[in-house]
Amino acid sequence: MSTPSFTPQSPIGSGFGAETTAAEVIGGLDLTGKTAIVTGGYAGIGRETARVLAAAGAAVIVPARDLEKARANLHGLAGIEIASLDLLDPASIDAFAAWFLASGRPLDLLIDNAGVMAAPLTRDARGYEIQFATNHLGHFQLTARLWPALVKAGKARVVAVSSAGHRFSGIDFDDPNFERRPYEKWQAYGQSKTANVLFALALDRRGQGQGEGIRAFSLHPGAIMTDLGRHLTADDLKAFGVTLAADGSWILGPDSPFKLKTIPQGAATTVWCATNPRLDGLGGVYCQDCEIAVPSSGEGLRDGVHPWAVDPEAAERLWRLSEKLTGVAFLE
């Protein structure tokens, strides 16, 4: 493998911003002939991502655990195909990937979007903590199994949807599944979101030598009211400077670290990472507000990416741990 290039964690002057929508990002780009897979593509920002990619001409596959909900939510949207997948079930991941590979299609865009946030302690059948298992390990295995289709595309992108919540925690390599330490839901969420960023960093290094290059990106979509927040309590929201209106919507106080986005705005950075031509030849970086984010060593959840999430040594260590926990290795 040739020596991989390094993309600085530095803004490139995209011309977009926090209020840009996914449709505005994609503009008049024609994705006819491209194939995309969007996990979690039937709700929230995942649905908007799938909708916008399909509207631009891409053939979009939405893998779903709840097929009935997926069919209802995607009804009437052209260019979207639904298939069965449960990211907590290794056999389901393998079956979905085998089904896709058997179709012979190249995979131009893989959007690892599905996730769970701040869930109570739950374990999958292997005993792995559910946020780490869903948000990272399931997507690690899925990406590995789909690797031949990404290589076949010649020039592909993988996008890992992370969060500013990565700043809650780095990776506890000694106890990633909370088998010995007390469970804390925000540490677990932060660890899983840090894992998304580190995964993109390590994946990008490996993908550059494949065909015309498989490049990977991670991102923070912003604060958006979606189903992802179903486990949040009133105390959780208060801690983030959020109160609930009578209709259940969020009201952000002046001290909140967030600026609330609409769903079309929340999907914009994902679509930007997946399709923007200015990112050709770049990768391995964490993005927000349709731009490569700045590094940050500050506290809280404001702008930037924490150093522990862009540490190449930690990325390689996580890669080895992920291979061990899943029993899956990438073909290089």
Strand, coil or helix: what is 38?
strand
For 187-330, where are the E strands, in sequence order? 214-220, 223-224, 242-244, 250-252, 260-261, 286-288, 291-292
Q: How many CA atoms lie within 13 A of 269 on its CB side?
A: 28
Residues 123, 171: contact at Cβ < 8 Å? no
Kindly name the residue from 42, 128, 183, 189 that is annotated as catalytic.
Answer: 189
For residue 194, CA distances in Å to 142, 159, 219, 241 come to 18, 14, 11, 23
Q: Is 189 a catalytic residue?
A: yes
Residue 129, strand partner residues: 123
Which of 114, 125, 135 shows the shortest CA–CA distance to 193?
Answer: 135
CA 145 to CA 216: how far, in whole Å?
16
CA 48 to CA 60: how far, in whole Å?
12
Tokens of 229: 């927040």
Q: What are phi and psi of 137, to 5 degrees?
A: -60, -40
Tokens of 249: 């919507």
Catalytic residue list: 189
